[in-house]
Amino acid sequence: MKIPEIISILIIASIALAKSALLSKYDSLAQNQAGVVKLDDLSYNELIRTPERDFGVAVVLTAMDERMKCTPCHKFAPEFHLLAKQAKGRRSTNKNSIVFASLDFMDGQRTFNDLGLNTAPSLFYHPPHQLNGHLYDFNRNGFLAERLVAFLNTHSPTKFAFKRPVDHTSTVIALVLLTILAVFAKKNWNTLTKPFIFSKWSWCMLTLIIILTMTSGYMWNQIRKPPQMVMTKNGAQYFANGVTNQYRAETVIIGTIYALLASTIVILTISVPKIQNTGRQRAAAYLWTLILIVTFSVLVYIFKMKQPIYPFRLFV
């Protein structure tokens, strides 16, 4: 074997050792920190900026200090740790292809300033040998680990799997509540249960509740898992931009508006005509018509705020 070939082999071997040493260092730190390495400015630069890094890094820049009052940070942290625990576990086949890390604002203010970040949490995935990371969109994807796995699998050369641990607590609670409800219904069959089942108004109200729940976006929330709201520098944001995206708080607000509109229509068509006094009937009609117009105008204003380019108008 010629000397140049020996030198090349030695160089390649030294690089490989350097890579494994960097991974081993942060894996050992992760084991002592529940699977997620806590960084500061220096360790962040070492982990992200090392050109020889042959593994990906998922790093969340957060603000866990109570003085920062970052509710989304505390909400996302358990999901991030849960994913890190599975991805770096013994059964994971790709545990050597990624490191999970976090950088708190109190420990990395210089990094926050360099990245131009003024909100938290912000999560980046840095593929192997790449300094620039891919930013995870919390507003669109939410905080659940399932959405984060899909994001990682989109940008990572290796694929990760996530299986949420089964929580039997909710199942047990549901069974207990159903048992109590069944016993209560049986004991009060003639006084409550039977009249409720055979009343058309009971089914009308149940149907109306289901319609309002579904039209307000409940199933969309169950599928997409959006955040409750988003904190910005101007305060809490309850309405997401665009008509194809929403927050959970927005669903509650829209559902309440729909319920008020439906109730107004029912009152105007059923209750108001039954008023015997002509003057009171006319006043009730004017009042509930005004409530209908104002409520519908608020709904139109919300749609206009979400999609400014659409020609929504008030009081039409």
Average pLDDT score, the chain: 85
Q: What would the two tokens of residue 65 be?
A: 């200090």
Specify whether 262 is located in the same domain as 123. Answer: no
| Domain assignment present for 180 | no
Contact between 104 and 38 under an 8 Å Cβ cutoff? The reply is yes
Question: What integer pLDDT is reported at residue 1 of this predicted model?
Answer: 52
Average pLDDT of the residues in 102-125: 91
Counting the structural domains of the chain, the total is: 2
> Over 60: is that where the pLDDT of 315 sits?
no
| Domain assignment present for 185 | no
Specify whether 235 is located in the same domain as 146. Answer: no
| Domain assignment present for 207 | yes
Specify whether 59 is located in the same domain as 127. Answer: yes
Specify whether 233 is located in the same domain as 117. Answer: no
Torsion on CA atoms 222, 144, 73, 60, rounded to nearest 10 = -150
Q: 185: which residues sit within 8 A by CB, 6+ positions away?
A: 192, 193
Question: What integer pLDDT is reported at residue 245 of this predicted model?
Answer: 83
Contact between 138 and 119 under an 8 Å Cβ cutoff? The reply is no
| Domain assignment present for 316 | no
Question: What integer pLDDT is reported at residue 34 of this predicted model?
Answer: 74
Specify whether 133 is located in the same domain as 264. Answer: no
Q: How far apart, in whole angstroms, are the C-alpha atoms of residue 296 and residue 268?
A: 15
Question: What integer pLDDT is reported at residue 313 of this predicted model?
Answer: 59
> Over 60: is that where the pLDDT of 10 sits?
no
> Over 70: is that where the pLDDT of 20 sits?
no
Specify whether 7 is located in the same domain as 145. Answer: yes
Q: 268: which residues sit within 8 A by CB, 6+ positions away?
A: 285, 288, 289, 292
> Over 80: is that where the pLDDT of 92 sits?
no
Specify whether 112 is located in the same domain as 241. Answer: no
Question: What integer pLDDT is reported at residue 220 of this predicted model?
Answer: 82
> Over 60: is that where the pLDDT of 246 sits?
yes
Average pLDDT of the residues in 246-252: 88
Q: What is the pLDDT of residues 21-60, one digit of tens each?
A: 888 888 887 777 778 999 999 999 999 988 888 899 999 9
Where is the domain boundary, 155, 184, 212?
Answer: 155
Average pLDDT of the residues in 203-209: 87
Specify whether 37 is located in the same domain as 124. Answer: yes
Higher pLDDT, residue 233 or 105: 105
> Over 50: is that where the pLDDT of 112 sits?
yes
| Domain assignment present for 211 | yes
| Domain assignment present for 259 | yes
Where is the domain boundary, 155, 176, 208?
Answer: 155
Question: What integer pLDDT is reported at residue 8 of this predicted model?
Answer: 47
Provide the pLDDT confidence category of residue 11 given band limits of 50, 70 and 90.
Answer: very low
Average pLDDT of the residues in 232-236: 76
Question: What integer pLDDT is reported at residue 261 of this predicted model?
Answer: 92
| Domain assignment present for 166 | no
Q: How far apart, in whole angstroms, are the C-alpha atoms of residue 230 and residue 138?
A: 9
Where is the domain boundary, 103, 124, 155?
Answer: 155
> Over 90: is that where the pLDDT of 289 sits?
yes
Question: What integer pLDDT is reported at residue 314 of this predicted model?
Answer: 54
Question: What integer pLDDT is reported at residue 169 of this predicted model?
Answer: 85
Specify whether 39 is located in the same domain as 128. Answer: yes
Average pLDDT of the residues in 247-261: 90
Average pLDDT of the residues in 227-240: 80
| Domain assignment present for 263 | yes
Specify whether 235 is located in the same domain as 148. Answer: no
Choose the weakest-confidence range: 76-85, 179-188, 200-209: 200-209
Which backbone phi and psi does 102 adopt, to 5 degrees? -135, 145
Specify whether 106 is located in the same domain as 210. Answer: no
Domain residues for the domain of 48 are 3-155
Average pLDDT of the residues in 5-34: 61
Provide the pLDDT confidence category of residue 94 given band limits of 50, 70 and 90.
Answer: confident
> Over 70: is that where the pLDDT of 291 sits?
yes
Specify whether 147 is located in the same domain as 26. Answer: yes
Domain containing residue 14: CATH number: 3.40.30.10
Q: What would the two tokens of residue 18 be?
A: 């350097």
DSSP designation for 97: G
Question: pTM of the prediction?
Answer: 0.56
Question: What integer pLDDT is reported at residue 58 of this predicted model?
Answer: 93
Choose the weakest-confidence range: 19-23, 116-120, 174-178: 19-23
